[in-house]
Structures are given as structure tokens and as C-alpha cells.
Chains A and B, each alone.
Chain A
Amino acid sequence: MRQFYGTELANGFMLGTALYPSPAILEQAFRQSGASVATVSLRRESGQAREGQDFWGIIRELGVHVLPNTAGCHTVKEAVTTAHMAREVFGTKWIKLEVIGDQDTLQPDVFALVEAARILAEDGFEVFPYTTDDLVVADKLLHAGCEVLMPWGAPIGSGLGLNNIYALRSMRAHFPDVPLVVDAGLGLPSQAAAAMELGYDAVLLNTAVAKAGDPVGMACAFAKAVEAGTLAATADPMEPRDMAAPSTPLIGKAFLS
């Protein structure tokens, strides 16, 4: 399994911590699903550092890797400042870098993203950039110092799944040694399984679980899907073919005219 900045994760299920009906349900979703990474927003959720500490304490007590994010940041400066605050609050070099370029679609501003990634990587951060599926941008992020890439499946919160399988497959093929995470846009466990089947190392999602009628049940469903997809990817899936291929020989048919 590919490592994330030298850390091997128990599984490829990364789960967000926003939008749950209550912290108690959030905690159960993590405990019962076994998700290995919790992302947490400093900017959107908690305002200033001191006053958000009760909620952050709940996240810390989950006992999973914490991946703070810069959700809600629109500029390089905002993202860099938020990353520094995150490092202080959670004592981790990990930062999920999100620089939003459009308030409506929440599409990443890839130009600002590359710039912020360079600044943070030089400052010792281990950057997980939320990006599009563009290969050139991906390459620039790697040059900026990122050792992980997090392309979107679909726009944040849309639940549309893997919008461009071809692009995601290309990214896997172009960067065979880079840990890749499908981040954003997943709505159903089957989509998470499909991402893992493509050879991705993890999926990251939030709304699909937090806004489900039963968030704990949905978190468990995603965990199973991630596990299934991971197993499938390493089990060398069969090649699809155009014609039916009977699994037993056809006896008694002399001609297939």
C-alpha cells in the first residue's frame, strides 16, 4: 500500500466531520465504520482557535489521523494562514489544501492552489491538495512539493460520483507511485468502490455520510465499499470483452454460424 508522507493507513476511508446532526452521531460514524482519517475544517466550523476547542477535542478523541483542511479559503494568503493555525491546533504537518475559485461550484482555483502548495511545502507542511483531474496541474503540484494528490470525483456536495472515469484512470496511469485520493463528489458507496477499483489509495467524503438519514449506517456502508474496492484492485480484475464468454465449454454445437 502506498504511504501518505511515510504514514501507512489502516484503510483508504477518509471521512469529513462537518454537517452531522450532532457530535455524538459523528463519533459513532467514526467508531463503527473504522474510518482511518478525519478531516476537519478550521475556518468554516470554529472561527477563532480558542473558541472551537470543544469541538476539536471531540475530533482528537476519535483516535484517528487528523487531516485539517483549509475549506472556505479563497486566496493563497487565507489558506496559508489557516494551515499555520491548523498545525498549531492539531500538532500535525498534514494539511488538506483547498483554495476555492468559485463560490457557487466550489471548484478549486488551481493557480492559487499550486502557489499555496509551494509556500506550505517549503515551510515543512505535508500537503494534500484538493485539485481537479487535470494532469498538468497535478504535475505542477508534485513539483511544488506535494507527495499526495486529491482529484475531485465531482463538485463538492454534489453526490454525482466519478464524473470523468477516463481522467481519473489517466491520473492513476500517469502517476503510478503517487498516493491518490478521490476527494469530493461521492454520493454512494458503489462510487467509492469504483474509485478504489481504479487503483486509488483512498476516498475522502463528508456530505454523503453526514446528510444520510442514518449517518452511522452510511459510514459503515462506505467502509465496506472501500474495503471491497481495495481487495478488487489488488485481485487483478478480469478484462471486459465484447462477446459473451461461457465459463463452461459449449458441447454439442458444431457450428456457431
Chain B
Amino acid sequence: MSQVTIIGAGVAGLTIAREVLDRSLKVTLIDRYEGIGPHQCSWWAGGMLAPFCEGESAEEPVVRLGAGAAAWWQKHSGSVTQAGSLVVSPARDRADMRRFARRTTEFREIGAEEIAKLEPDLAGRFSNGLLFETEAHLAPREALQKLRAGLIKDGATFEVGEADPDQLTGLVVDTRGFAAKPALPDLRGVKGEMLILKCDDVSLSRPVRLLHPRIPLYVVPRGDGIFMLGATMIESSASAHPTARAMLELLSAAYALNPAFGEAEVLEIGVDSRPAFADNLPRIRRQGNIIRANGLYRHGFLLSPALARMVADVITKDEQPEFYDAA
């Protein structure tokens, strides 16, 4: 049985491990850190499986390939909630809603009454919205934990340590994200800042996106009164500290969604830099025994199942799938 070494045990590494393992190969994952944690971009993810909403600004493959993500994650982590997503805008930014509707598909326009029925805590606050019924969301940390546990159960080996892909023999898959920048010079970082709040006064059943020309916000309910607020998009590889401005803007937007968020407790403030290529689509590049899979940008959970399948195709069928970059 062939042996594959995967460097990086974030969302890309774990999904690739799953696909490779399912094709009867032996898998070892090496990461600098033990387990799932804040050192990973995917730890801070929103966990929205919203391919159609993303279509507002993303390239076509994100919509097409992201459509299968919810089923994949449900199969391998069982932690997907299928409740759709809701897009709303303040009355003065109605133009942004019209634009969003023109740029996306698979939604239904709904009025104040239906918003009140779906999300009672938004009742009376928004007179119309877009409901993307087929979309889903998950709790990223739980999903990663379960995926990891399943891999261990099925025989994948996890090692802790620094690994240099050039020093390893056998087939190596490098999924280190921004840390692989020296080998992928056209990779860039897009800084994202987010907050996790606890607010017992607000209850939401599905991710809600609040449109705004400068400060778009999404709120993802995690259950038990916990919400993830995200996320900024800044062209920067900085990932050490969030800015005060980002916190001000995210919290102001949340307050606009429902003023009760003003009373929330701030549980966590997160910041990281998303690895991305120029068109914000992932790439698979092969260099001898090293396969590099990177650039998931803000679509870690949405695109990693498709990316993982493609990496497995490169390994087992010697194919050049869609995200394969021969250059």
C-alpha cells in the first residue's frame, strides 16, 4: 500500500487525508501543533456552506464545486445544519440588496412577515430579504475534530513537528497555507478578523448576512447563544492582531442587526490571514514528489472537499483536475 505524507492538518490537510485514505492509501499527517486549534485558519472560519451567496463576488467554480460541500461534511463530520441563509439590508442600502439579487441564484425574495416567522428576533427590523433555502452551515471546530477523529479511527497517523517537504521522501502533499509562501511566491494573504459573542437575548436559526456598502457582516449561530461575527477582508498577510477599527465596524454592524448584541459578552477575538492566489481560487501544483494544494481563501470549508477529491485524483489517477496548475 502506498504511503502519502500530508504536511499541515488544517481543513485542507484533513479533507485531503480523508479522500486519500478512502482510496486505500496509507496516510501520515504532520503539523507543527497538536490537534485542532487557533494556529489554523480554519479554526476561525465562519463555517457557512453558502455557495450561492458567495457567487455574488466569487468565480463560477466556487458556486458549482461548493454545492457539494454540505453533503461531504455531513457524511464525514455529521455536524451540518441545513437551514438556508438569509440576506438582509438596512432600508437605506436597498440598492445593495438589488445588486446582490442580480448577482446570485437559488434564492427566494421574502417580506417582513416571512422574516419574522423564520427569525423572530429580526421581526420588524427588515422589510425584505433573500432566502437561500438550500444553503447550510456547520460549527468549524466541531467538524474538524470529528473529521480528525474519523481519520484516526481509520488508521491515519498524526505526527507533531516541523516538516520541510523537500527533505521528505515518498509522495508529499503540502497544505501549509500561507507558510508555504516561499514555494508559492504568487500566494498572498488576505487578513480576516472575527468575533465570537455570547448573547442570550438573540436567537437565530441560520446564518444572516447584513449588506452594507463598506461594512458587510455575517452572523453565524453556533447554538447555546453563541454567535460568530465576521469577517473583514484586508489585503495583508498580517495575522498577529486585529485592529480596533475592525472590531468597531463588526460590532456596529451587529448592533444594526439587533441592538441586543450590544449586551453580548465577547468570548473570543480572532484574526488570521487567508492564503489566496490572484483569482481567489485554489491551486494544485506538482513538483516532483511534492504536490502543493493551497489558496482556499475564504472558502476553506466550502471548497476543501472538491480540492481534496482533485488531489486524490492527481495521486491515484495521475489526472490533471480543474484546480491543477501545470505552470
Contacts and interface: CB of A to CB of B under 8 A. Distances in A.
B235 interface: yes
A135 B237 CA distance: 42
A48 B236 contact: yes
A46 B57 contact: no
A25 B188 contact: no
Contacts of B278: 22-24, 27, 58
A25 B279 CA distance: 7
Contact of A52 (B102, B213, B236): B236
A21 B188 contact: no
A54 B188 contact: yes
Contacts of A55: 188, 235-236
B238 interface: yes
Nearest to A41: B235
Given A21-B57, A25-B279, A45 B236 contact: yes
Interface string B74-89: 0000000000000000
Interface in A10-50: 21-25, 27, 44-48
A54 B280 contact: no
Interface in B250-309: 273, 278-280
Q: Is the contact region of chain A dominated by helix, strand, or loop, or is it mixed?
A: helix
Contact of A21 (B187, B237, B280): B280
B189 interface: yes
Contacts of A21: 57-59, 280
A240 interface: no
- Chain B, interface size category, equals 20 to 34
Given A21-B57, A54-B189, A157-B214, A47 B279 contact: no
Instruction: Find the residue from A24, A27, A47, A48 having the highest chain B CB count within 10 A.
Output: A47
A44 B237 CA distance: 14
Q: How many A residues touch the partner, as a band? A: 20 to 34
Nearest to B246: A47
Nearest to B190: A55
B3 to A, nearest CB: 35
A123 interface: no
Contacts of A213: 102-103
Contact of B59 (A22, A46, A52, A54): A22
B234 interface: yes
A47 B214 contact: no
A25 B235 CA distance: 15
B99 interface: yes
A54 B238 CA distance: 11
A47 B236 contact: yes
B42 to A, nearest CB: 21
Contacts of A207: 213
A64 to B, nearest CB: 17
Nearest to B237: A51
A47 B234 contact: yes
Given A21-B58, A54-B188, A211-B99, A45 B234 contact: yes
B167 interface: no
Nearest to B99: A211
B235 A54 contact: yes
Contacts of B236: 45-48, 51-52, 55
B191 interface: yes
A52 B102 CA distance: 32
A194 to B, nearest CB: 22
Contacts of A51: 189, 191, 236-238, 273
B2 interface: no
Contact of B280 (A22, A48, A157): A22
A27 B188 CA distance: 15
A40 B237 CA distance: 17
Interface string B225-242: 000000000111110000
Interface string A88-123: 000000000000000000000000000000000000
A47 to B, nearest CB: 5
A24 B189 contact: no
B243 interface: yes
Interface string B54-85: 00011100000000000000000000000000
Interface string B89-102: 00000000001001
B235 A46 contact: yes
Nearest to A20: B57
A47 B188 contact: no
A55 B189 CA distance: 9
Nearest to B188: A54
A156 to B, nearest CB: 9
5 contacts: A21-B59, A22-B280, A24-B279, A25-B279, A27-B278
Interface of B: 57-59, 99, 102-103, 187-189, 191, 213-214, 234-238, 243, 273, 278-280
What 8 pairs between A and B have smallest CB-CB spacing?
Answer: A54-B188, A55-B235, A24-B279, A51-B238, A24-B278, A22-B280, A21-B57, A51-B236
Interface of A: 21-25, 27, 44-48, 51-52, 54-55, 58, 157, 207, 211, 213
Given A24-B278, A51-B191, A54-B235, 19 more contacts: A21-B58, A21-B59, A22-B280, A23-B278, A24-B279, A24-B280, A46-B234, A46-B235, A47-B236, A47-B238, A48-B236, A51-B236, A51-B273, A52-B235, A52-B236, A54-B187, A54-B188, A54-B189, A157-B213
